[in-house]
């Protein structure tokens, strides 16, 4: 099996057609200039050391050196030894708060953007886990079912906004219930739920649902986003600060006590989002410490590879040496044209 270790470096080969076009243009320009002096064949014969086709040969050598360098840079490899690797993982559902309070800017650029960045970091650190996305505000919806397609997950994540859920609120209990339905019902372990929210809007049902989920083998981690001091909320509909019924700015505050209580009921951990990477590391470490199941059907044969970049670099060097050794045409002799 052949592959390029750094296939992205092959982009340099796309310059070859441009070089060919420039060389052809140069040949045509040279012929046009010679025709102005007289017959091309006679003029060329007056050049010292002129050999027909030598310029084309020198260009071909340079093109070979250029292509070989590009291929060597990408490092062509061939599979050698085969090893069977057994994968293990858990199922992770991420419940993301999309209430309008997540647009508060007490954490820059705003709570929702930082929450998305956290989810992206977590996905980047996953390897064999299946992941799903539940979004919630006044209602909860399954946005992405359990999948190992991390690219699709991240693409869907970028499109979620508070406008997806017209009913406002923070129904964490409903989000937990929907997440439980999203897990496999055949197992009572290997399951983790990560709730990312500012916790605003007390949900009397949340802790009871967390205890029920823990009884079903689901470990619940919560992430608090925002500050206890709070911040005003930007309303995208009015394009200004959101006001209450009395015309006063609405201030949204992080409810850490609610989120800590849910995590305790779910036998998980609570994390205050400050540094995105640190928070992602803490959550993924907690998930990896869980008992993991062997992932069926995706045992993969991994190969060790031998690299062949050195052969292409030697070829490029030889082509350059030969091109350098080949003499070009000298200056014109004195020619009298009647």
Q: How far apart are CA 313 and CA 315, in angstroms?
A: 5
Identify the CATH number of the domain in which residue 190 sits: 3.40.50.410
Question: Would you state the pLDDT for residue 301?
Answer: 61
Residue ranges making up the domain that contains 175: 88-294
Q: Is residue 335 part of a domain?
A: no
Q: Do both 237 and 104 map to the same domain?
A: yes
Question: Would you state the pLDDT for residue 332?
Answer: 47
Q: Do both 142 and 11 map to the same domain?
A: no
Q: Do both 173 and 44 map to the same domain?
A: no
Q: Do both 254 and 120 map to the same domain?
A: yes
Q: How far apart are CA 324 and CA 318, in angstroms?
A: 10
Q: Do both 133 and 211 map to the same domain?
A: yes
Domain count, the chain: 2
Question: Is the bond preceding 109 in cis, omega lying within 30 degrees of 0?
Answer: yes
Spell out, as residue ranges, where the chain has pLDDT lower than 50. Answer: 330-338
Supply 108's token pair.
């820059």
Q: Do both 118 and 182 map to the same domain?
A: yes
Question: Would you state the pLDDT for residue 124?
Answer: 95
Q: Do both 28 and 124 map to the same domain?
A: no
Q: Of 6, 259, 266, 283, whose CA–CA distance to 123 is shortest?
A: 283
**pTM across the whole model:** 0.65
Question: Would you state the pLDDT for residue 89?
Answer: 86
Question: Would you state the pLDDT for residue 338?
Answer: 40
Instruction: Name the β-bridge partners of 306.
Output: 78
Q: Of 20, 186, 176, 190, whose CA–CA distance to 88 is shortest?
A: 190
SS3 call for 289: coil
Question: Would you state the pLDDT for residue 313?
Answer: 94
Q: Do both 131 and 278 map to the same domain?
A: yes
């Amino acid at each position: 099996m052949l592959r390029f270790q750094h296939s992205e470096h092959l982009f340099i080969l796309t310059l070859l057609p441009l070089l060919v076009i420039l060389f052809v243009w140069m040949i045509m320009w040279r012929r046009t200039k010679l025709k102005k002096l007289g017959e091309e064949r006679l003029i060329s014969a007056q050049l010292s050391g002129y050999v027909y086709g030598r310029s084309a040969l020198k260009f071909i050598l340079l093109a070979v050196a250029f292509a070989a360098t590009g291929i060597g840079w990408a490092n062509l490899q061939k599979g050698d030894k085969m090893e069977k690797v057994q994968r293990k993982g858990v199922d992770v559902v991420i419940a993301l708060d999309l209430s309008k309070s997540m647009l508060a800017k007490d954490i820059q650029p705003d709570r929702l953007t930082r929450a998305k960045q956290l989810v992206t970091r977590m996905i980047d650190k996953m390897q064999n886990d299946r992941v799903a996305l539940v979004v919630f505000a006044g209602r909860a919806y399954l946005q992405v079912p359990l999948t190992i397609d991390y690219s699709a997950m991240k693409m869907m994540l970028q499109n979620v906004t508070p406008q997806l859920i017209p009913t406002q609120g923070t129904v964490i209990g409903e989000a937990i219930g929907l997440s439980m339905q999203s897990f496999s019902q055949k197992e009572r372990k290997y399951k983790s739920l990560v709730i990312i929210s500012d916790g605003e809007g007390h949900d009397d049902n949340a802790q009871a649902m967390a205890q029920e989920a823990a009884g079903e083998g689901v470990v619940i981690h919560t992430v608090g986003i925002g500050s206890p001091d709070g911040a005003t909320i930007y309303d995208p509909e009015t394009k200004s600060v959101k006001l209450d019924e009395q015309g006063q700015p609405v201030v949204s505050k992080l409810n850490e006590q609610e989120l800590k209580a849910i995590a305790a009921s779910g036998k998980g951990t609570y994390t205050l989002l400050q540094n995105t990477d640190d928070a992602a590391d803490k959550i993924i470490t907690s998930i990896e410490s869980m008992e993991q199941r062997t992932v069926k059907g995706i045992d993969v044969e991994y190969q060790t590879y031998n690299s062949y970049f050195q052969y292409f670099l030697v070829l490029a060097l030889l082509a350059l040496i030969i091109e350098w050794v080949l003499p070009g045409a000298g200056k014109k002799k004195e020619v009298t044209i009647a």
